[in-house]
């Protein structure tokens, strides 16, 4: 069983949103910088996440994305499903055509494992993940690094705004 990059990146980006929820809307460029995920790839993922109501968006200055519901109400499995990922341990993609068009001896075993994994990920919310001590520690490190990579830029009447260093 392998979860593709698409599923992993979607979960990572949603956790980043959950961690920064109290700061308002988050620009995809900020998530891209903190998580090392291509901006264009994030745009594709967030279009799917928005269609499923897992995120909302706002345009203009101060715009970006926010969670569509509370972090405690969004399961990891929902995020993976929203980007059309399939958590499947069978080698036939769950079709039962593993051995010359028929089920193999272990098909049901791997099918059951797939169900257990889905149940496990359905039982874990984004809020539960971000409450883990090691996740908080990593997020703190990423935020410090992100702040280091920003430089102050003068805008309207001397107000300062930070922008990523490119």
pLDDT tens column, 34-54: 999 999 999 999 999 999 999
Residue closest to 42 by CA, chosen among 97, 83, 89 = 83
pLDDT tens column, 74-132: 999 999 999 998 888 888 888 889 888 999 999 999 999 999 999 999 999 999 999 99
For residue 56, give the H/E element and its range: strand 55-58
Q: What's the pTM?
A: 0.82
Does 61 reside within a domain? yes
Q: What is the C-alpha separation between 108 and 57, in angstroms, rounded?
A: 41
Number of domains in the chain: 1
Q: Tell me, what DSSP letter sits at residue 164?
A: E
Does 102 reside within a domain? no
Question: Phi/psi at 98 (nearest 5 deg)?
Answer: -70, -30
Domain of 79: which CATH number? 1.10.10.10
Does 53 reside within a domain? yes
What is the residue range of 56's domain? 5-87+125-164
Does 155 reside within a domain? yes
Find residue 160's DSSP bridge partners: 154
Does 110 reside within a domain? no
Largest CA distance in the chain: 72
Does 80 reside within a domain? yes
Does 111 reside within a domain? no
pLDDT band at 60 (very low <50, low <70, confident <90, very high): confident
């Amino acid at each position: 069983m392998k979860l593709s990059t698409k599923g992993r990146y979607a979960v990572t980006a949603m956790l980043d949103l959950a961690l920064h929820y109290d700061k308002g809307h988050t620009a995809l460029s900020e998530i891209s910088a903190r998580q090392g995920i291509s901006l264009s790839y994030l745009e594709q993922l967030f279009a799917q996440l928005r269609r499923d109501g897992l995120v909302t968006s706002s345009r203009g200055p101060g715009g970006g994305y926010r969670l569509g519901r509370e972090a405690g109400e969004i399961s990891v499995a929902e995020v993976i499903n929203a980007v059309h990922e399939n958590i499947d341990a069978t080698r036939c993609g769950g079709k039962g055509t593993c051995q010359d068009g028929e089920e193999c001896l272990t098909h049901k075993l791997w099918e059951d494992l797939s169900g257990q994994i889905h149940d496990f990920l359905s039982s874990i919310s984004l809020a539960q993940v971000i409450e883990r001590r090691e996740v908080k520690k990593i997020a703190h490190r990423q935020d410090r690094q992100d702040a280091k990579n920003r430089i102050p830029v003068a805008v309207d009447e001397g107000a300062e705004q930070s922008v990523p260093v490119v």
